[in-house]
Amino acid sequence: MLPRVLEPEAMDTIDEAIDYDRIDHREVNRLFAADALTALTSAPLLGAGKPCHAIDLGTGTAQIPIELVRQARADGTAQGLVITAVDLAAEMLVVAKRNVAAAAMSDVIRLERLDAKTLPYPDDRFQAVLSNSIVHHIPEPAEALAEAVRVTQPGGLLFFRDLLRPADVAEVERLVTLYTVGSTENQRQLFRQSLHAALTVAEVRAMIAELGFDPAGVRATSDRHWTWQGIKP
């Protein structure tokens, strides 16, 4: 099995944030938002049309919350949906603020600079905790997963998706070649580093089992992603 190699936890410059924002994540974001909304409407505490205050951990440039709200408005499930979108990188949030304003969603997407490992919220604060691609950035992901569980209300949804670490370097390079067509060399290298820093399904299952959740809630959902969907007891 390919060993895990960490990458920087946060992007430090505005140029890095802008370059990241320019990567074409549209299809991945669309699928995440669609799957997350399906999970939200089926969660016991939530359901279609019910008020929902969700937090998006590691929001980056806010592409995910923007897509979530766009889809929710399109299918009529947006009533009462408010998203607090947080990230550790200040420069990411500079770009995020621009994106949220351009989408005219500043009334329902609130941006905050926070560390997902030490959130300043009381227990049971949110009806849903969502995250796309934060886990591979964190040296000890179990800390962030435990914190996510802490701030989720009983009956609330935890929905995480991230990259899946390949078994060997050859598979890393296959995925980089396949999914970075038209990207810059820097963008290809970012993806390569992220694959090396990602977790395996077995590793994530072990972490969420320690938190009292069914390991079967974690599964591979593409050739490069795992997803955890859980309801807090």
* Residues 58-86: tens digit of each pLDDT: 999 999 999 999 998 888 766 678 999 99
Interaxial angle between packed helices 63-75 and 90-102, expressed in degrees from 0 to 180 and rounded to the nearest 10: 30
Q: Residue 176 contacts by C-beta under 8 Å, 6 or more apart in sequence?
A: 188, 191, 192, 195
Average pLDDT value for residue range 46-66: 86
Position 187 scores a pLDDT of 86
Q: Scanning the structure block, which residue is given the tokens 């972490």? A: 207
Residue 124 belongs to some domain of the structure: yes
Residue 179 belongs to some domain of the structure: yes
Q: Domain containing 125 — which CATH number?
A: 3.40.50.150
Residue 3 belongs to some domain of the structure: no
Q: Report whether pLDDT(9) > 90.
A: no
Structural domain of 184: 14-231
Domain total for the chain? Answer: 1
Residue 7 belongs to some domain of the structure: no
What pLDDT band is residue 212 in, cutting at 50, 70 and 90? very high
Residue 2 belongs to some domain of the structure: no
Position 4 scores a pLDDT of 97
Residue 90 belongs to some domain of the structure: yes
Residues 150 and 123 sit within 8 Å (Cβ to Cβ): yes
What pLDDT band is residue 39 in, cutting at 50, 70 and 90? very high
* Residues 16-36: tens digit of each pLDDT: 777 676 777 789 999 999 999
Residue 211, SS3 per DSSP: coil
Residue 4 belongs to some domain of the structure: no
Position 11 scores a pLDDT of 63
Position 49 scores a pLDDT of 58
Q: Angle at CA 68, nearest 5°, toward 23 and 153?
A: 120
Residue 8 belongs to some domain of the structure: no
pTM of the model: 0.93
Average pLDDT value for residue range 29-57: 84
